[in-house]
Structure 1
Amino acid sequence: MAGASVKVAVRVRPFNSREMSRDSKCIIQMSGSTTTIVNPKQPKETPKSFSFDYSYWSHTSVSRGPGGHPTPRPQGSLMAWLCPAGQLHGNLL
């Protein structure tokens, strides 16, 4: 199939109730199409970075601070933006 390609989208979802009750920490950072995973057990280890066609941040308990690092959201702040399904489908088609 000449000219065919695969588009890949990634989304950081909000924590579920179990993750929140355990005070889980978000170890994902996003900047543009680059998604980075930080190892909390080895903070000096080089983070792993991956590039995707589309990156969607919808994690509600943290926001991206300076340098893309996750920081807690202040109480009462707006929920993180979540891409409507129609827009996602439009981007991928």
Structure 2
Amino acid sequence: MDNKNGNAPLAGKGEGKKTRSNFNSFEAQRQRLMDWFRTHGMIDTITARRDLDIMMPAARVHELRHRHGHQIDLVWVQQPTDCGRLHRVGQYVFHPEA
């Protein structure tokens, strides 16, 4: 096991910037989200968590909107989770630049 939190260990001394695995960096999560948007056009909170491993998709969408200038709308929908319970979740709709 990597460490008691299940995270990749930090880089050792002399190995440059001390970072955990880049797979779940905010940048990597934003990139996965943008790749999905470019292919599918929209995503909901449940799918982002389950399929893209983004636990806080609203935060990544906020960054894409306000730091990177992307137009992404929010529509509230009722959707079942994998166990069948309905939840009110955000569905994010990407508008590619003209």
Shorter-normalised TM range: under 0.3
Indicate the structure with greater strand content.
Answer: 1
Indicate the structure with greater helix content.
Answer: 2
> Which protein shows a greater Rg?
2
